[in-house]
Amino acid sequence: EGACANAITTFVDKSDGYITAWSWNFGDDTMQSTSTEKEPVHIYHVAGLYNVTLTVTTAAMQSFSFSKPVLVTEGAIITNTIDLQNGMLVSLSSADAYQWIKDDVLITDAVEKTFAYDGAPGVYTVAANVLNNCRMLSSPFVVSALDKE
C-alpha cells in the first residue's frame, strides 16, 4: 500500500469477527501517531517507509496484531490556498473534494470548498483531492485570538 506525504491517508480495518477495540500505530513520531478509531485518518509529513500496526480486541478480550508496511512518497504542498472571506475560510484551489483540518485534527463534516469557522484560534488547513487521489494539504492558515477580519 502507498500514501502521499502531506496528504490524508485513510486506514481501513478489514478484521473479521466481533471487534470491540482498535489500536493503530502509524509508525511515525508525530503527536497524532496513534488512534483508537475503527477507520482513522493520518497525515505523514515526511516520505519514507513506515510500519503500520493494528491491534484489535474481540468481545472475548482476545487481542490480535497485524502489521503492514506503508510506502509514503513525496507530495507537494499547495501554496496560498486559503483565504478569509466574510467569516468563511475559502479554499482557492480547484478540486474534486475537500477536507478541513484544525490543529492536525479533521473537522467532522467540513468537506466543502468553504468552511464557516467559529473564529476559534488555531491552525487551519484544507486537504484537496487534486493529484493522483492524494488529498494534498494547503499551507497553514493561522487564526490567532487577536485576528480581526
Segment 41-75, tens digit of pLDDT: 888 888 899 999 999 999 999 999 999 999 888 76
User: Using an 8 Å Cβ cutoff, are 98 and 126 in contact?
Assistant: yes
User: Using an 8 Å Cβ cutoff, are 110 and 126 in contact?
Assistant: no
User: Using an 8 Å Cβ cutoff, are 11 and 24 in contact?
Assistant: yes
User: How much is the pLDDT for 76?
Assistant: 57
**Cα 122 to Cα 56, 126, 140, distances in angstroms:** 33, 13, 10
**Is residue 145 very low, low, confident or very high in pLDDT (cuts 50, 70, 90)?**
low
Phi/psi for 33 (5° steps) reads -85, 0
Please determine, for residue 136, whether its predicted confidence score (pLDDT) is greater than 90. Answer: no
Beta bridge partners of 66: 54
